[in-house]
Amino acid sequence: MPIYLSNKLLSELQEQTESFLNKAISEWQLLRHSQFGYKASPEKWSATQCIEHLNSYGRFYLPEMEKAINKAKAKSWEPATHFKSGWLGNYFTKLMMPVKDGSVGKKMSSPKDHYPTSNADSYKVIAEFIEQQEQLLQLLDAAQSIDLNKATCAISISKLVKLKLGDTFLFYIAHQYRHILQAERALKVANVVTGTSIIEFDLNKLVR
């Protein structure tokens, strides 16, 4: 299983999260809902739906991460120099990781409770996404003072299954990247109609 320097891992994950946050603030907030909510076909997700899907996961995972950090602090689990990924966490991260050409790789069906059936107001969806990224940055900073190996989080499909906090960060951020790329593809299609340019991410920045 992969082994990371804990401080370097958290720093790289913070950098990735900041890129998501900057994207939302500097670009997405300036787009009209008619573009961000544009659907190329009934079965395709709009950018709004892609980000709402991420928000639905944030509503579960961010409190779980905070709970794990608070428990680790209460138990005085001091930070370890290295973080070793668990087999299940590493599997989930690899499953979510986009491939080098920017495609999502293996396609998966979203669970019903995380499926964005409504093409909601994009401004509210983006505002919540920004708030969640700011909270995630705070959690990554707080995690510098605890052991990423000992702290654990439940996963959304079963609270009986736990992942190491380090793996939860890796999986969660890879999942965000996956659907942000999907949102950008939806915006590229909308761009044909609206003529608004899209600034693309550098995939090389993603922790692998």
What CATH number corresponds to the domain at position 34?
1.20.120
What is the number of structural domains in the chain?
Answer: 1
List helix spans (H) across the chain: 6-26, 33-36, 47-74, 87-96, 122-142, 165-194
- pLDDT of the residue at 106: 56
**Measured distance CA(115)–CA(122) in Å, rounded:** 16
**Measured distance CA(17)–CA(15) in Å, rounded:** 5
Place of tokens 């909510």: 37
CB 78 within 8 A of CB 147: yes
- What pTM was estimated for this model as a whole? 0.88
pLDDT digits (tens, 9 = 90+) for 146-156: 999 999 999 98
Domain that holds residue 34: 3-205
**Averaged pLDDT in 10-residue chunks for the chain of 208 residues:** 96 98 96 90 91 96 98 97 96 84 56 70 95 98 98 88 96 95 92 57 57
